Amino acid sequence: MEKLSIVKIGGNIIENEIALHTFLQLFSSIEGKKILVHGGGKRATEFAVKLGLAPKIISGRRLTDAQSLEVITMVYGGLVNKNIVAKLQALKINAIGLSGADANSIRAKKRPITPIDFGFVGDVKEVSSNAIDALIQASFTPVFCAITHDGNGQLLNTNADTIASQISISMSKSYATVLYYCFELNGVLRNFNDKTSVIQHLNTTRYQGLLKAGIIADGMLPKLENCFDALKNGVAKVHIGNTEMLTKENDNFTTITL
């Protein structure tokens, strides 16, 4: 089965022009078919503040009201997405920028309002592998922002890690999908204060042990949940680390297995 690489990049890479350029060079050098998924929350927050909109947080999680959704759509789907697409074109990668609404590629449902109403936040319901594959077969490299739609005209803010995982699962029916989560750290760490303490191999049993010990916590939890969900649903391999893991010379990152 032909390999398909799905790469998700975090906001810290997007915010740093040098880091973004380095990443896109590495991404462009990946052999074979590939898809890029990105967020852009920090940039969206900056623009919201400039517009006089204060971020609304409930239980540590961001609420997406109507005004926030407008900013997110402009920043994720416009500024960030098209900037990445233009830079990839300069690297001779024929990228095409997309939201989940484009080609009806990712449909989501609005998150239930109980116990907490997070506003216009969507949970992925369906990924159209046929639509995405049509673009890939036409020699395009899809670049997805973290926006989906509900099929009734409503855009929804959706977690980019989840989008990457769900795309990987959907495309695994036709490809050997390999999912990469690229962010500023070298991988999953034994000690957060020691950036070299990378756990190179993490399976379900070891994950549960580290979870009970409190070594894995906070923002890494939903990311790892997406990793294991992908592996349980047909994805061939999942890796977490900094952008250097996209090079064949680097092996200092975390590989997730069941």
pLDDT at 114: 85
CA distance 211 to 230: 19
Nearest Cα to Cα of residue 124 among 179, 168, 60, 71: 168
| Rounded Cα distance, 31 and 53, in Å | 42
Three-class SS state of 96: strand
Q: How far is Cα 127 from Cα 122, in angstroms, rounded to an integer?
A: 13
- How is the beta sheet containing 147-149 ordered, strand by strand? 122-127, 106-110, 147-149, 155-157
Count how many residues are written for the chain: 258
pLDDT at residue 93 above 90?
yes
What whole-number distance in Å separates Cα of residue 48 and Cα of residue 43?
A: 9
pLDDT digits 0-9 by tens, 227-252: 999 999 999 999 999 999 998 777 88
Q: Domains of the chain by range and CATH?
A: 3-256 (3.40.1160.10)
Q: Would the annotation count 62 as a binding residue?
A: yes
Question: In the prediction, which pLDDT does 111 show?
Answer: 95
41 is in an annotated binding site: yes
Rounded average pLDDT over 96-121: 95
Per-residue burial over 34-64, b if 16 or more Cβ lie within 10 Å, else e, is bbbbbbbbebbbeebeeeeeeeeeeeeebbb
Q: What is the spatial distance between Cα 97 and Cα 257, in angstroms, rounded to a whole number? A: 31
Q: Percentage of the chain with pLDDT > 90?
A: 78
* pLDDT of residue 59 exceeding 70: no
* Residues 6 or more apart whose Cβ sits within 8 Å of residue 228: 204, 207, 256, 258
- Cβ atoms 198, 254 nearer than 8 A: yes
* Cis preceding-peptide flag for 112 (omega within 30 of 0): no
Task: Enter the tokens of residue 76.
Answer: 């994720």
pLDDT tens digits, one per residue of 146-202: 999 999 999 999 999 999 999 999 999 999 999 999 998 999 998 888 989 999 999
Q: State pTM to two decimals.
A: 0.95
The secondary element (H helix, E strand) that includes residue 90 is helix 81-90
Residues in CB range of 213: below 8 A, 6 or more apart: none
The DSSP output letter for 77 is: I
Pairwise CA distance, residues 121 & 158, whole Å: 6
- β-strand 141-144 against 95-98: which pairing, if any? parallel
Q: What is the mean pLDDT of residues 83-100?
A: 98
The lowest-confidence range among 43-52, 75-84, 85-94, 98-107 is 43-52
**Binding residue per annotation — 40?**
yes
CB atoms near residue 88 (< 10 Å): 21
Using one digit for the tens of pLDDT, what is the confidence trace for 3-30? 999 999 988 899 899 999 999 999 999 9
Structure tokens at 115: 């116990």
